[in-house]
Structure formats: C-alpha cells, structure tokens
C-alpha cells in the first residue's frame, strides 16, 4: 500500500454524495434562478467574492431568511471598517431559528459529567424561550440592554440566549471556569442590567463551587439590577437572586422584536492576553447570514441532522453550535471534560445520539491518537458523515488517524477562522477531495489572500492572512471604543482598508490552504521564517510529547536562542537521549536550521481561557518585557503554568549583557 504524504488525497466524495450536498443544490439553484453558471468550487468561490452583493443576496433568498421589512440594497457601503449590510431590513435571530422548527425531532440533546443524556423538543425549547423572554421583560430588560451570563454549556444557557435575542437585548456569556477577575474585566465594560449565574460546574470528575465568584461579580457590576440564579450542582438558591424557575412560570406565546440588520446580537471577547479583553459586537443580520451560508450551504446541515461541537460557553464554537439551529438541525451539547472518565466519552455520545457532524479541536484528535483511542472498534459510528477540526492546525498524522481509526468514508474538515467574525475564513468543501495536511479552500464570500509585506498577493508562498472585502459577520465595533480606535488598530493598521488577521497562510493556485500559526509569533532563523505550527507538527509525532511551545528570541539582529518547551507523558523525563531524539526529529522532518538551542520540560504550557498557546506574551516575557504589561493572568486557563516562565525570564535578564527592551 502506498505511503500517503502531505498533500496526497486521502478521501474523495462519491458522485452521489456530491450531488446530495446543499452546496451542489445551491450551485444548481444559481444556474436556474440567477443564470449563474459555475462548474466547480474554484469558480463558485471566485464568483462569490467578485460579485459580493449578488452572492450574499442569493444566500438570503436561497436560505429563506425571515424579515419584517425588505432591504433597500445589499451593501450600503463597502469600506472596511464600516461596511453597511442590507440597510432597511428588520429581522430577529431567534425568529429565524424557530422558522426552522422540526415538530418530530428534538431541538437538542444534553449530557454532562453527572447528568445522563436528556433531550428537549422544539416545542419545549420554544415554550421555555417564550417564558424566559417574558420574565426578562418583567425584570425591565428591553432592546439594547445587555444581559450577561456566567453559565456552562447547559440547556438553560441556550434558552436564556434565545430569549435575550428575541426581545432585542444584547447577550454576552463567560464560562464558569473563568475566574471572577476575568469575568469582571469583560462584563464591567458592557454594563449589563441582568446577570444569569450558576452555582458551579463539573470538570474532570470534580465539582467546583462558584457562588463566591458570583457574589464578587455582582458587587463589581454597578449597572446590575437583577441576578437570575440557576442551581446546577446543588439545590440552594443564592440569597437576593431571582430563581430561574420564576422565569419559567409564564405560559405565553413567543413573540419577536424586529430589529435592524445591524442591531447588536451578542458581545464576544478577544483572548485578552494583554490588557483588557476587546468586547467585539456582532449583529443579528450578520450572524444569521453568515451562519446560513456556513452551516447550511458550506457544511450542508439539513433539518433533522444531528450536529455536535465540543466547546465551553467561553469559546466561539458554542455560538456556532447554537447557530446550527438555523438549519433545523438537532444540536448536541456536552458539559465537561472530553477525557473524563476516559477519552472515549465523546465517541460514546456520538453513538448514543446519532451524531452526523462531529466538531472538535486538533489537540483532541492528536491526544486521541497518542492515547491509542480506536473509536470505530468500540462504537457504532455508521451515522457519522463528517468530522470538523479547528483551534489549531491538524497534523498529517492527525488526518491519517481519523481515516484509520474513526471512519474511512468521512469528510474531514480542517478549518480556521476567529472569534472576530464568529466563523471560518478557510475550511471545508464537501464536493472536493480531502488532502493530508491541507485545508480544502477559502470559504464562500471570504476574499482571503496571502499578502507579503508590501501588500502583494502571493500564490504558493507563505504570507499574512488578509481579508480584502467585507464580511457580514465582521464586528460592528468594539463596545465603548471611541472613534473605533482599538478596532482599527486590531485589524487595519498595516494594510489600510484591508483586514489583517494575524495568521500565516499559504494558498495554492487551486485555492487550497495551509495555516502556519500566528504571524506575530513566527520563527525567524537568520532571515528564514517559519510558522510555529510547522515545528509543532513535527514534535507531535513523538508519542512521549503531550504538548509543546516554541519561542524564538532572535530580535533586532540579536540572536538569543530558539527555545522549545515540552510537556512529557507521565513517567518520562527529559534526559540526553530524549533531547537528541527531539533534535533529530526536527533535523530530519523539518530542517537543521530550526533545531532548538535549548529544550525545557515543563508541567504545562501557558494558554488563554480559549485554550490558545500564549506564544506572543511568553516571547515578550522572555525578551525582558514587564510581566504585568504583557500577561493578564486572569485571562489564562492555567495561570499556575506561568511560575516556571517567570523564573526563567528573571534568569535570562540577569545573564543578558544587553537589555533588549
């Protein structure tokens, strides 16, 4: 059997499968209804960005978006930032959800570490949303008011969000695994009038009481008028709070507050590795349109399909999972660790609920591979059609593991996007083959390019990921950002009028893509640049390495060192033999140029609350920046991991002959 290499085809959809996709149907609809003829995905993508207004209007019509008033034009202004979409239209996110209600299908399945699988019908969901919406109105909540939630991934969170959106109020959520300081830093900026909070959560078999944190959050939010309390791990209600059950006592019909297309739907937050997190505001219409395109047309979800994404409420994948309801699909929500009581728990859930589209992260796939998990040998995954991977670039071995040990006939989607747009820039194409180590293409309507430093588009070369034309789900603005200063600095400083995302990407002549990690944490060895993900992919092939972080300290012509930090499998230590093995792995599979000068074993890799490696802050720390200025420990998922790096930074700065900063 031929050994498959990076770039080789590992799966191709059958002709029948291609013709059964929503994308194929959309292309046929364009031909019959609009006279637009496209022969393949490359032509489809090109038309979608060349004829941006025609494309998005076609998505609106094809997907059946519900609005109470019609738009006067598709794009009132195309300048970034500040593009104006579908002026004149009035709609509501929640109304468009329930327009897809499926009477004989569950709206959602729910399971947690201590609650067995439950289901909620569409009618139950609608009734609870109507009741809670009425309850929020009685608490004085109206259009434009902020409703903040300190809630885990449970059905009550879905209900609360849809109720908030139905009345035109603005939603914002933090996961209860966030510390109180981190939550306060977010919610103080947006001044909520109501807080929904939970007593605690469970993770990895342990229950965490968060009532003290809730009280600290309450005291810090001077705008707060009411707190709605949801007992999750115990029955006791926090004193002075409105019980969740009180909001569920109304028997009313669900109504919808029609709002302008660009009325705020929710506020999400940047990772916040330095300074205060940026409160990113996105619109009802922009999210509806983007999710109709992504979930319905690009991913192909249909009414009754069962869709799952592993996520906490603190990651944008939670928002995207709720958006799957716009297609009439059934969503599966899971609250807890993906590895408790074992790495099999999510595959067991897939069998039990009949998951057809399984969303996870690249680290989960790689850890499953290293722990010798064999899902297809233990579970009935006959209904599984697709597996989605995001959060980090997926290695070639990760691709092979999926096809060998999950399912041979499966559409594997590696995608990359951002909280900033609540969607993907590049991702899956259901009518194209899957190639090892490559992302299939640029998403429809996303004018993604790789730019060099002078703003020239590159082909088959690594460059900055930029978006040259507006997307409906781009931020309206950052909350309380005077004159859009932080917004402009975040995306538009380097290339005027063009969105710079901060990732390295290579796009070939066919539109296939490879993401190489963050451009601002790139390795530069004597002028030769490489994304950190290249090195991570090579290191991940060693079973003994559970996680890694690489930091390049070459700066301003002063070559300090390239440092590799590794988390080792339990029972292993970093001896000379393993150091040599790591260096040989890099020498043979990457380049001798990128062999690290130093290797350290650490207990954990510093990560944000979203699970992103803190490459840039750690780099700045080791270069001599003030720790308090470059790292916000309250925005970390594992602040204890910092201790080693703080000590190392002190050691480095004491031995440096020249201070760099």
Q: What is the pLDDT of residues 312-360, one digit of tens each?
A: 998 899 999 999 999 999 999 999 999 999 999 999 999 999 999 999 9
Domain hosting 572: range is 522-655
Q: Is 571 domain-assigned?
A: yes
Model pLDDT for residues 221-276, shown as the tens digit of each residue: 999 999 999 999 988 888 889 999 999 999 999 999 999 999 999 999 986 545 67
Tell me what pLDDT residue 527 has: 53
Taking 50 as the threshold, does the pLDDT of residue 556 lie above it?
A: no
What φ, ψ does residue 357 adopt, rounded to 5°?
Answer: -125, 110
pLDDT, one tens digit per residue, over 75-126 is 998 899 999 999 999 999 999 999 999 988 899 999 999 999 999 999 999 9
For residue 583, give the CATH number of its domain.
3.30.300.30
Residue 559 has pLDDT above 50, yes or no: no
Please tell me whether residue 133 adopts helix, strand or coil conformation: helix
Q: CA-CA distance, 393 to 516, in Å (whole number)?
A: 7
- Can you give the pLDDT at residue 39? 94
What are 452's two structure tokens? 């060099």
The number of folded domains in the chain is 1
- Res. 557: pLDDT tops 50: no
pTM of the predicted model as reported, rounded to 2 decimal places: 0.88
Structural domain includes residue 529: yes
Band the pLDDT of 658: cuts 50, 70, 90. very low
Strand positions, DSSP E, 304-429? 306-309, 330-335, 357-361, 386-390, 411-414, 416-418, 423-427
Compute the CA torsion angle 295, 299, 305, 306 (nearest 10 deg).
-80
The confidence score (pLDDT) of residue 656 equals 54
What would the mean pLDDT of 465-481 be, rounded to a whole number? Answer: 97
Q: Tell me if 465 is assigned to some domain.
A: no
Give the whole-angstrom CA distance, residue 119 versus residue 127. 15
- Give domain status of residue 532, yes or no: yes
Cα–Cα dist 553/633, whole Å:
22
Q: What whole-number distance in Å separates Cα of residue 618 and Cα of residue 137?
A: 46
Alpha carbon of residue 339 to chain centroid: 20
For the ranges 24-38, 79-93, 334-348, 524-538, the lowest mean pLDDT is seen at 524-538
Q: Provide the pLDDT for residue 227.
A: 98
Give which of 505, 449, 442 is closest to 41, Cα–Cα: 442
Sign for the CA dihedral angle at 572, 573, 575, 580 comes to positive
Is 201 a residue whose pLDDT tops 50? yes
Q: For 362-377, what is the mean pLDDT?
A: 92
What is the pLDDT at residue 362?
A: 87
Domain assignment present for residue 631? The answer is yes
**Does residue 543 belong to any structural domain of this protein?**
yes
Token duo for residue 83:
């593009």
Q: What is the mean pLDDT of the chain?
A: 93
Closest by alpha carbon to 390, among 413, 411, 368? 413
The set of long-range contacts for 339-347, using a CB threshold of 8 Å and a minimum separation of 24, is 339/204, 339/367, 340/113, 340/203, 340/204, 340/205, 341/205, 343/367, 343/368, 343/371, 343/373, 344/373, 344/375, 344/378, 344/379, 346/308, 346/310, 347/373, 347/375, 347/378, 347/379, 347/381
Q: Look-up: residue for tokens 């200025």?
A: 629
DSSP E strand stretches across 459-542: 462-467, 477-478, 499-507, 513-518, 523-525, 528-530
For residue 455 the two structure tokens come to: 């703003």
Residue 495 counted as domain residue:
no
pLDDT above 90 as % of the chain: 78
Give residue 581's pLDDT: 95
Confidence of residue 526 (pLDDT cuts 50, 70, 90): low
Determine contact, residues 513/432, Cβ cutoff 8 Å: no
Enter the tokens of residue 184.
């306060």
Q: How confident is the model at residue 528 (pLDDT cuts 50, 70, 90)?
A: low
Instruction: Give tens-digit pLDDT for 407-464.
Output: 999 999 999 998 999 999 999 999 999 999 999 999 999 999 999 989 999 999 989 9
Residue 445 counted as domain residue: no
């Amino acid at each position: 059997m031929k050994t498959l290499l990076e770039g080789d085809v590992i799966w191709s959809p059958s002709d029948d499968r291609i013709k059964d996709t929503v994308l194929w149907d959309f292309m046929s609809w364009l031909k019959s209804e609009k006279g637009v003829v496209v022969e393949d995905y490359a032509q489809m993508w090109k038309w979608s960005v060349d004829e941006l207004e025609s494309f998005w209007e076609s998505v609106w019509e094809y997907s059946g978006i519900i609005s109470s008033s019609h738009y006067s034009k598709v794009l009132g202004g195309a300048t970034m930032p500040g593009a104006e979409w579908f002026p004149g239209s009035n709609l509501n996110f929640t109304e468009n959800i329930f327009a897809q209600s499926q009477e004989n299908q569950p709206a959602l399945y729910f399971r947690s570490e201590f609650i067995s699988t439950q289901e909620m019908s569409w009618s139950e969901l609608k009734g609870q949303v109507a009741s809670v919406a009425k309850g929020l109105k009685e608490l004085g909540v109206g259009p434009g008011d902020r409703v903040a939630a300190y809630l885990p991934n449970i059905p009550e969170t879905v209900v609360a969000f849809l109720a908030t959106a139905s009345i035109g109020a603005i939603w914002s959520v933090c996961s209860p695994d966030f510390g109180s300081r981190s939550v306060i830093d977010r919610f103080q900026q947006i001044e909520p009038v109501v807080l929904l909070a939970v007593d605690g959560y469970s993770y990895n078999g342990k229950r965490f009481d968060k009532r003290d944190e809730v009280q600290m959050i309450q005291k810090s939010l001077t705008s707060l008028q009411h707190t709605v309390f949801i007992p999750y791990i115990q029955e006791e209600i926090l004193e002075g709070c409105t019980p969740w059950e009180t909001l569920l006592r109304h028997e009313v019909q669900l109504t919808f507050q029609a709002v302008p297309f660009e009325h705020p739907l929710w506020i999400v937050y940047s990772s916040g590795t330095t300074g205060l997190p940026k409160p990113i505001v996105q619109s009802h219409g922009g999210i509806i349109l983007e999710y109709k395109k992504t979930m319905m047309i690009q991913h192909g979800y249909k009414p009754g399909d069962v869709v799952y994404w592993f996520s906490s409420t603190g990651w944008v994948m939670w928002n995207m999972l709720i958006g799957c309801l716009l297609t009439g699909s059934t969503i599966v929500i899971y609250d807890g660790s993906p590895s408790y009581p074992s790495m099999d728990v999510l595959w067991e859930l897939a069998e039990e609920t009949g998951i057809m589209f399984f969303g996870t992260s690249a680290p989960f796939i790689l850890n499953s591979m290293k722990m010798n998990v064999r899902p297809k040998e233990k579970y009935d995954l006959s209904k599984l059609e697709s597996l989605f991977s995001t959060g980090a670039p997926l290695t070639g071995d990760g691709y092979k593991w999926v096809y060998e040990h999950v399912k041979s006939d499966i559409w594997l989607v590696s995608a990359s996007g951002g909280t900033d747009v609540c969607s993907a820039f590049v991702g899956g194409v259901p009518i194209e083959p899957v190639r090892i180590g490559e992302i299939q293409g640029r998403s429809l309507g996303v004018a993604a390019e790789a730019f060099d430093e002078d703003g020239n588009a590159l082909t088959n070369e690594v460059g900055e990921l930029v978006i040259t034309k507006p997307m409906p789900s781009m931020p309206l603005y950052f909350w309380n950002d005077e004159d859009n200063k932080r917004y402009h600095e975040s995306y538009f400083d380097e290339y005027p009028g063009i969105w710079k995302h901060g990732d390295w990407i290579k796009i070939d002549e066919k539109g296939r893509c490879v993401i190489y990690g963050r451009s601002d944490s790139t390795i530069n060895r004597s002028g030769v640049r490489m994304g950190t993900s290249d090195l991570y992919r090579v290191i991940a092939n060693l079973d003994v390495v559970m996680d890694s972080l690489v930091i390049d300290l070459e700066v301003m012509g002063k070559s300090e060192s390239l440092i590799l930090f590794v988390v080792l499998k339990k029972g292993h230590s970093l001896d000379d033999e393993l150091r040599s093995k790591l260096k040989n792995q890099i020498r043979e599979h990457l380049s001798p140029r990128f062999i690290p000068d130093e290797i350290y074993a650490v207990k954990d890799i510093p990560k944000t609350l979203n699970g992103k490696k803190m490459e840039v802050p750690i780099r700045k720390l080791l270069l001599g920046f003030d720790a308090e200025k470059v790292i916000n420990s309250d925005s970390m998922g594992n602040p204890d991991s910092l201790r080693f790096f703080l000590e190392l930074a002190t050691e480095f700065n004491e031995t440096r002959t020249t201070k760099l900063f």
